[in-house]
Structure formats: C-alpha cells, structure tokens
Structure 1
C-alpha cells in the first residue's frame, strides 16, 4: 500500500485565488480591449510571451514590462500590473484546506510564477509566510515553472522526497515536469473537485 503524501505544493494565481484567466479577461473589458488581447499577447505572441517569462524570472522589472506591454496594447502603462490583477480574490475554501492540512502535520509550499515585486506585490494581502512552510516566488529565485530546477529547489526547501509531494496547478503544462520529477500532480480546474481530491490523497 502506498503511503499518503506528506507535503502539498500549491500554485498561487488560479489555485489560492479566483480564476486567473477570468481576471485577465475582466482587465481586457475594463480597458476597452478586444476579448483575448492580453491573454493572446502573453501566451501566443512570441515577443509578448518572452516579456512575461522575463518578468517571471526577474530578468526585467515591472516598469519595463508595463511600458512594453502598454505600448503593445495601447493602454496606459502606469499601474498596469495592479490593474491586471485587480479582480483576483482569495479562494477561501482552498486557503482553509491548506491551513487545515498544515495544522495536521502536512508540509505546505506555495510555488508561483511571479509578476515581480518592484512596486506592486500581488502576494501581500495573502500573507503567504503565515500560510506555508516554504514560499518560492519565481522572480526571487531566477527560475520559473516549468523549469525542472524550480521544482527541485522547492522540494529541497521542503525537506521531503519528491514522491511525498502533491503539486496542484491550474496550468496543465506545469504538471508535466513535476510528474517527471516524481511528484503526484493534480490539475486544478474547480475548487469543488480539488478539495475532495486533496482530502482523499492526504487522508486515504
């Protein structure tokens, strides 16, 4: 019989928060952009995708990202990241489950691709250091998902084997290197499905 896992690694945006992509779509609507303008820029456009990757790795600062993306979208770059994240809200059920599992002895980590922290810190309202034993933010370590090294770093900081970890992310592509590293993985599409799946995993 396989032993239950002893550590939980959670993505931030879209897992501990409300839907990340819905947040970006709301920004597009507020700014008067065509539907998908921002999402397509950072996911499908090569130059735009490179900008978000550089921001997440800390290779460029927030002001540079905002200026270049603002130019591409034709919107005011001042405070752009804060406006992009304005509709993110805590997912209380996921946050409560993380706290409950941690209180029961499960090691908890937050592993997030970041939008930087020069002037705007999207993590501040969540007080992640109180929620988790380990917090790995991409721009602070110079690595981003899906780079396998960021999973290695997170497991090392947790102090448990990869096989003892469950990794939860709303982006399926990020689960692939985690699974290859030996982690159990869970694709988060809906809190109502994720919560019972995690309860079952940690309390078989």
Structure 2
C-alpha cells in the first residue's frame, strides 16, 4: 500500500533546467549537451556534487566548474549556468502535490545549494508549495545528495515509512534507480501529463 509520495524539485515541480541549458549552449556556441556532460564526469566528486553537499563555497564551485569545463574543451561562466536553474512552477504538479497531501504523506527530495546570500536556491518562490510537504530533504542541508541511497533512507526515516510504501517522481533515471532497488515505486518525469497519469494509477485517486 502506498502511504507516501516523494517529489523531486527541478524537472518535476519546476520546469526542467535542461531546456535552459540547451538555450545557453546554443547562444554561446557550445556543443549540445555540454553542461550535462561536464556534470556527468566524476559525478560523485565534481564541483557540482561538492556544491550540492555544501562541501565547497560558491566561489570555489565557480573556479572548479569552469576548470572542469575547460578540461572538457570549452569555456563557460559558472554563475551564468547557476542562474539557469530558476525554472517555472508547473501548476498541474503543484495541484497534484496538494491533492496528495490531503490523503498521503508527502516529501520533497531535492539536490540544491546555498546561494551567496545564504538562502537555498529557489526556496523563496516555493513558499506555499513547501508548506504542502510533510518532509523537505535538501542535499545542501543534510550533506548527502541523490542518487546516494542514504538520501532516500533519510526521507523514509523522517516520514516513518518503509521504502515499499512510497512512490518517487524524478526526471533523472540515475536518481530513480537506487530508489527502485530499495523497493519504491518510481516514475520518470519526461512529460508531466503522462507522469501524473502514472501517479494517479499508483495512488488510486484523481490528481488533476
């Protein structure tokens, strides 16, 4: 029986940053998919991973990330790339969270970072949305990030559930794999409408 629904943030509740990455690459004459390839190189130890675990400062990230990009053959501005992460709230997903919160436990599982002014990125615009969740797990606060299994174990402990009692939505297959191996039901969000239809089938009640 499903007792909890776990949502990723960017690419699920927010529009995908990958679209913004693609526009940036096209504008700067970078190869398509370049930013994602940089992030996929040494994914547990690279600058992005260190920033999301709050192991390095924002300035250190910028220096390291730009060096990683240069090693991969191209120059970019790290702060410009971080600015692409804002995204837009997806109203249909926010409504689904609201309906889930009325009947089930809800959790927000996000890899994020602390901005220069000390606030977690995008937290301000989440406002009322954050209030819908029983638990919010942020990599920058707990020092662990997806796809580390400890991230999902922490969410389950906070919610008081077993993995098999949860369904998890994320836009990255690499983040879904460990959750699925733990026993969670998983939904990869490519098209939000299709993902919501899948979630409705899992939870057994309308979300739209």
TM-score, reference length from structure 2: 0.84
Residues 196 and 48 from structure 1, CA distance in 2 versus in 1: closer, same or farther, beyond 3 angstroms? Answer: closer
Matched, 1:123 2:120: no
CA distance in 1, matches of 2:56, 2:125: 24
Structure 2 residue aligned with 1:51: 47
1:37-116 aligned within 5 A: 37-43=34-40, 45-46=41-42, 50-71=46-67, 72=70, 73-77=74-78, 79-86=79-86, 88-103=87-102, 105-116=103-114
Which string of whole-angstrom CA distances, capped at 9 and with x for unpartnered residues, describes residues 101-128 of structure 1?
112x211101011133443622321124
Alignment of 1:158-197 (within 5 A): 158-197=159-198
Question: Which ranges in structure 1 are unaligned for 5 or more consecutive residues?
Answer: none
> Would the alpha carbon gap of residues 148 and 25 (structure 1) be closer, same or farther in structure 2, given more than 3 Å must change?
same
After superposition, give the CA deviation of every residue in 1:50-94 in whole Å (9 maximum; x if it has no partner).
Answer: 1111112111122211233245353445x43542224x1111111
CA contact (8 A) 1:15 1:170 kept: yes
Which residue is equivalent to 1:22?
Answer: 19
TM-score (norm 1): 0.86
Aligned positions, number: 197
Change (3 A) 1:63 1:122: farther
SS in 2 for 1:41: helix
Is the partner of 1:74 in helix, strand or coil? coil
Is contact 2:43-2:49 (8 Å) kept? no
* Unpaired runs of at least 5, structure 2: none
Rounded to whole Å, the distance in 1 between the matches of 2:126 and 2:202 is 25
User: How far apart in 2 are the matches of 1:157 and 1:47?
Assistant: 26
User: CA-to-partner distance for each residue in 1:137-181, whole Å, 9 max, x for gaps?
Assistant: 112101011111111100111122221110111111211211122
Q: Distance in 2 between matches of 1:124 and 1:99?
A: 18
CA RMSD of superposed structures (Å): 2.2
Question: Secondary structure of 1:8's match?
Answer: strand
Distance 1:141 1:160 in 2: 19
Q: What is the deviation of 1:26?
A: 2.1
Displacement after TM superposition at 1:97 (Å): 0.5
SS at the partner of 2:131? helix
Distance 1:16 1:139, change over 3 A: same
| Whole-Å separation in 2 of the counterparts to 1:162 and 1:54 | 27
